[in-house]
Amino acid sequence: MNEVTRLVEVRERVLKHNDVVARALRSRFAAAQVYTVSLVSSPGAGKTAFLEEVLRQLKPRHNVAALVGDLATDNDAARLARSGAPVRQITTGAVCHLEAEMVARALEGWDLASLDLLFIENVGNLVCPASFDLGENLRLVLLAVTEGEDKPLKYPSIFNTADVAVITKCDLAAAAEFDRARALANIHAVRPGMPVFELSARTGHGIDAWLSFLESRVATSAAIAGGRPSTPECQAG
């Protein structure tokens, strides 16, 4: 057996195990009626700033919590905790992505049934997270205006596995000479019809539209499950 064949087999076993754990997580989330959102992006795309603002705005009307993954330090968890929401850090060490088993371990001792929404912030990486299901209801891929419009073409797998694209740092678009039309065309070339939200966590631009969309999805999910009501239903933005 050559080395390449062995690596492929090991990877297949890892992914199969992850899928088994992710299915169990998905069932667990459904039983607890907690809507789960994961966030993926390259480093520095603004995931933590975006999520901090989202938690801050949602907390007065929803029970929210977050898990945050990073190779080292708990800096991002400390930032997110400023929102007042429960936050737990997952330190991955040398692993460049979160895996379902890491999420399952981090949830030990948490009463999921007390939550409406759980956010999972992945490690900054546009490659590995594409292959690892975390049992989430909704996966967001973030693209900052400072990164360039061709990211979707360079990393098509992560955009193909996401449900929603979020363009961040829009307050810097002019300074970065960001070509909005080209970015949108590239996103939809990879994933036709995917919803795209354009926003700035710093100024608040676009956050309301994103929250309306999210709360609409949460309300629909709760209605389908016949579970507890969410906030008054919002229309998708």
Burial of 216 (0-12, 13-18, 19+ CB in 10 A): middle
Quote the pTM value: 0.89
Task: Evaluate whether the domain defined by 3-225 bears CATH number 3.30.2320.50.
Answer: no
Q: What are the pLDDT tens digits along the chain (237 aa)?
A: 566 555 556 567 878 899 999 999 999 999 999 999 999 999 999 999 999 999 999 999 999 999 999 888 788 889 999 999 999 999 888 888 999 999 999 999 999 999 999 999 999 899 989 989 999 999 999 999 999 999 999 999 999 999 999 999 999 999 999 999 999 999 999 999 999 999 999 999 999 999 999 999 999 988 887 644 433 332 322
